[in-house]
Homo-oligomer: A and B are copies of this chain.
Amino acid sequence: MPLPANNTGDAQVEPGSVRRSALEAAVEVEIQLTPQDVLALVSEPLQEVEKVFRRNLESEVPVIAEIGRYIAESGGKRIRPGLLLLASRACGYEGRRDILYGAVFEFIHTATLVHDDVIDEADCRRGRLSVNSRWGNTLTILMGDYLYIRSLGMALVGEDLGILNLISDITLKMIEGELMQTHAIGRLDVTEEQYMEIVTRKTARLFSGCCETASVLVERDDWRQPLKAYGHAIGVAYQMVDDMLDFTSEQEVLGKPVASDLKEGKLTLPVIDLLARRADLRPVVRHIIEQPEDCADAYALLVEALHREGSLSRARTMAREHADAARAAASMLPPSVYRDALVSLPDLLVSRQS
């Protein structure tokens, strides 16, 4: 969605400040912005990220290039590089290495998705056939390996051992999180604490790494902690909303079937909260996990209970609390249109519908 036009009619707006005015105007008149509107602030460098992303999906091995094109065309929200670019600009960074690292973080994210889909036996992703259902598991496993290694190869170009260590550490934690989640599949006794641990490893660390990287680029150690805290909090909020949308959205909007987490045996916050209050609903949850193809009645019962018992609204409250924490952390950066964008983003992510 394009940014709303600047219709203040003010002829004295300086060149380059149009976007700022549009954003400010939108905030003032309370136009409902989407995360994409805010990311439009860095649309030019994001296009550069896209180029680096696509260039690194090319290969002299035809099958890699073929799958690479398919992945590139499938798109994605590009929230991780968007965050990195907003953060680097909020830090006053003027170089080009944020573009490189933005592409690296998106590459790592893509690698995890590709292997996730093999593991979850997912048929579709972003409204299209998943790589595994098009090319089979074998090529998809290898393609995921390729993406992982290539992402670290890309990161090497930046020649910064500190950032390389950060990226390698985050990626390892993500895989550990995935292993923990896999190990918990089918178990109904997953606690909120375990959920938070998995969310932190699987999602929040990559978000916080994107933001932290900005502080490293400008060598401002004092901004590292607030940016890390910002990325962590927005990452947790993002994942919590993702997990809620799995129950409240529709397949056409999500680009994948609803309740797919639960059908794969993964308990997320709303269900964990519900089962902690209503142990009698365990058989219903068990039924959905064990008979995902034939669970319409059980699923309707579950969604109704998630609403009535307040589990969805509690999850939304927790997501909002993390959004608040993110906003507070971003406020510690010096004032700029990019800082404002970082401040506005958490709420927009919490309000998103897909």
Q: Which B residues are CB-close (under 8 A) to A118? A: 141
Q: Which B residues are CB-close (under 8 A) to A179? A: 61, 63-64, 139, 142-143, 146
**Number of chain A residues close to chain B: CB under 8 A:** 38
Q: Which B residues are CB-close (under 8 A) to A232? A: none
Residue of B nearest to A179 (CB): B142
A153–B148 Cα distance when bound, in Å, is: 13
A29–B40 Cα distance when bound, in Å, is: 77
Partner of A142, one of B59, B146, B150, B178: B178
A176 at the interface (CB under 8 A from B): yes
Known contacts A179-B64, A180-B61; A138/B119 CB under 8 A: yes
Q: Which B residues are CB-close (under 8 A) to A182? A: 138-139, 142
Residue of B nearest to A67 (CB): B179
Q: Which B residues are CB-close (under 8 A) to A178? A: 142, 145
A149 at the interface (CB under 8 A from B): yes
A60–B161 Cα distance when bound, in Å, is: 24
A164 at the interface (CB under 8 A from B): yes
Of A86-94, A166-174, A306-314, the segment with at least 4 beta carbons within 8 Å of chain B is A166-174
| Residue among A60, A179, A183 having the largest count of chain B Cβ atoms under 10 Å | A179
Partner of A63, one of B138, B143, B152, B183: B183
Q: Which B residues are CB-close (under 8 A) to A297? A: none
A65–B168 Cα distance when bound, in Å, is: 19
Contact indicator B146/A145 (Cβ below 8 Å): no
The smallest C-beta distance from A169 to any residue of chain B, in angstroms, reads 7
A156 at the interface (CB under 8 A from B): yes
A221 at the interface (CB under 8 A from B): no
Contact indicator B161/A159 (Cβ below 8 Å): yes
Which residues of A come within 8 Å of B, CB atoms? 59-61, 63-64, 115, 118-119, 137-139, 141-146, 148-150, 152-153, 156, 159, 161, 164-165, 168-169, 171-172, 175-176, 178-180, 182-183
Q: Is the interface of A mostly helix, strand, loop or mixed?
A: helix
Contact indicator B148/A156 (Cβ below 8 Å): no
Additional A-B contacts beyond A149-B171, A153-B168, A164-B164 (10; CB < 8 A): A61-B179, A63-B179, A115-B142, A141-B144, A142-B179, A145-B178, A146-B176, A148-B149, A159-B161, A161-B161
Contact indicator A175/B159 (Cβ below 8 Å): no
Known contacts A138-B119, A183-B63; A146/B161 CB under 8 A: no
| Residue among A59, A137, A169, A171 having the largest count of chain B Cβ atoms under 10 Å | A171
The smallest C-beta distance from A135 to any residue of chain B, in angstroms, reads 10
Contact indicator B142/A119 (Cβ below 8 Å): yes
